[in-house]
Amino acid sequence: MLAKNKPSLLVTIGAIAVLVGGGVAAYFALTARRTIRDVPLGANIVPQDALLAVSVSTAPQKWQTLQQYGTSQSQAAFEQLLIQWRDRIFTDQGYNFEQDIQPWIGNEVMMAWLPDPALVSGQPSPSGDTPRQSPMASARILLLPIANPLRAQEILSARKSLNQGEILERNYRGIDIFETQGRLQNYSIAVLGREFLLVSDDPRATDRAIDTYHGDSSLAATPGYSAAIQQIRNSQAFAQVYLNIPVAASLASMTAAQPIPPESLAQLKRHQGFATTAILRDNGINFQGVSWLRPNTDRKLTVGNSTDGMLRRIPDTAIMTLGGTNLKQFWSDYNQGANANPIAPFNPQALAATLQESIGMELQRDFLSWMDGEFSLSVIPGISNPNTPQRFMAGLVFMVRASDRNAADNALQQLDEILRGRGFQVGDAQLNGQPVVQWTSPYGGFTVLRGWLDGDVAFVNLGAPVANQIIPQPQTAISSSSLFRQTFPSSLSPKHGNFYINVEQVFNRQNLSLPPLPPQQEVWVNAIQSIGLTTAVIDNHTSRYDLFVNLKSAAVSTDNQEN
């Protein structure tokens, strides 16, 4: 039963200060528990079924570094976000973070989102409560580590007052909880031993965190979590993020207009989790990620990394490129997960069916069967010529190393005949002294070139005619360009796949006619120079990811605007 107090935090903070300064029983309860080391501190308190957990450094210099990235507009937008977050968590409660929190707080705080258990399980809650209708409505808990208990006691003992509402006090499993009532956003606050100040926006979430504190399964005890975190642990980390994939899959299925089929949902739940560490570099943010499968799953990852041979065939004029080790395997992996992934960019089965219906050829049998080598898909701007206006501003170039040249030739020649029967002009041509095959649409204005490079690399060029930039092999490859190297500081080698996008050039309307972005999104996109992603398969259960977001500096952005 909640007992009402007067609308002042004096009694509340005084009681908390006593707990912080002299909670002997709670302290021994904490030290008696088994905690898992070398993981974010809050991971031992966050319930294991948390959807998302984010730990963030409290070091002022790291926040100052973060605020220096991007353009002046993105810096202003980021500053506004910080103000809103600070006001919601601290200022509205009568506290100033720098004066009242910073002197006693530990090195990192952790925030976690706890979905309604009924929404995750699909079963009504025992209390009969109606499940939340959206995963974004998950309750939040904030764990503030106490590095200096005496300083915390001194500061929290100071008188604070509420502008509205009242303070209610209750006890759960021996821990005193103080809750605001009658406000637009209510909070619960409790002290766990001498190490954590727990803040929550939902009393049920507070109780679940206390249950975990008393021994229920924690995030730190999640199978594979500790080992995965060690792979991306970095003493200079600014933040670390964890996503619970089985919980995310259940939520996506429960809240989607069309639930995920049970067999597809089971495939997605073979994955246990994804975690990433954010490290602040001189010119951007490096996200070092890891994903892992459940220990008892029957699925095994294919370990097959290779070198970056295909990158040497892509010119430095390319503004976007995607590449990998084995297209056949890549497609198989994507096909397995796409049906269970509500945000998959396209349905592979629908694409295969469309190909079958339109030209009568099977994707797997006629094409993928010989496409088990390196591959790349690149966007390359065309070279403007005022005498011959181009219909397309950029060309799409696909390249793949064939394992069976005879099978590839048979499939491509069959495709030639099918297109010829559909009215296309199909004929041999020469490009920089090399034979190619040209397809020209019967409706005009649309030409496709295909051919071979070095005997076993097939290529296709759609859109703007840019094949002359890969024939002969470019003298300056994209892997040699300064921006590309700056965007890939990854230590992962050999690599399984890569993705690169020159954001500034992709959103330049002289290269691609993309629709204008909403102003709120444009601010953030304009702050990014380029993005590079590297992937590698570590073993049959673990994959690694290295993402680098190359950010502009306000000084450079200002100079560019003036020029």
DSSP letter for each residue of 125-177: -TT-PPPPS-GGG-EEEEEEEBS-HHHHHHHHTS--B-SSSEEEEEEETTEEE
Torsion on CA atoms 482, 488, 492, 497, rounded to nearest 10: -110
Tokens 């070092």 belong to 288
3 state DSSP class of 530:
strand
3 state DSSP class of 534:
strand
Cis peptide before 472 (omega within 30 of 0): yes
* Residue 41 identity: L
- 342: closest CA among 278, 265, 289? 265
Q: Is the confidence at residue 361, as pLDDT, over 90?
A: yes
Q: What is the mean pLDDT of residues 237-265?
A: 84
Tokens 């397309």 belong to 392
Look at 194 and 491; give whichever has higher pLDDT.
194
Its pTM stands at 0.85
pLDDT, one tens digit per residue, over 457-481 is 999 999 999 999 999 999 999 999 9
pLDDT, one tens digit per residue, over 506-548 is 998 888 888 888 988 999 999 999 999 999 888 888 999 999 9
Q: How far apart are CA 362 and CA 369, in angstroms?
A: 10
Q: Is the confidence at residue 27, as pLDDT, over 70?
A: no
Lowest mean pLDDT among 17-31, 43-57, 242-256: 17-31
DSSP 8-state secondary structure symbol assigned to residue 101: I
What backbone torsions phi and psi does residue 245 show, to the nearest 5 degrees?
-65, -45
3 state DSSP class of 60:
helix
Contact 299, 293 (CB under 8 A): yes
Contact 228, 259 (CB under 8 A): no
And the tokens for 465?
A: 């005619």
Contact 531, 550 (CB under 8 A): yes
Angle (deg, nearest 10), helices 9-22 and 149-156: 170
Q: What is the mean pLDDT of residues 220-225?
A: 93
Contact 305, 496 (CB under 8 A): yes
Sign of the dihedral through C-alpha 144, 149, 153, 155: negative
Provide the pLDDT for residue 120. 67
Q: What is the mean pLDDT of residues 146-161?
A: 74
Q: What is the mean pLDDT of residues 342-369?
A: 87
Q: Is the confidence at residue 47, as pLDDT, over 70?
A: yes
And the tokens for 202?
A: 């939902």
Q: How far apart are CA 561 and CA 500, in angstroms?
A: 25
pLDDT, one tens digit per residue, over 78-132 is 888 888 877 777 776 667 788 888 889 999 999 999 988 776 665 544 454 544 4
Q: Would you call 216 exposed, middle or buried from its count of C-beta atoms within 10 A (0-12, 13-18, 19+)?
A: middle
pLDDT, one tens digit per residue, over 414-461 is 999 999 999 999 999 999 999 999 999 888 778 999 999 998 999 999
Average pLDDT along the chain: 83
3 state DSSP class of 443:
coil
DSSP 8-state secondary structure symbol assigned to residue 514: P
Q: Is the confidence at residue 17, as pLDDT, over 70?
A: no
**How far from each other are the two terminal CA atoms of the chain, in whole angstroms?**
67
pLDDT, one tens digit per residue, over 262-311 is 877 888 888 899 999 999 998 999 999 999 998 888 888 877 666 668 99
Total number of residues shown for the chain: 563
Contact 498, 485 (CB under 8 A): no
Report the 10 Å Cβ neighbour count for 60.
10
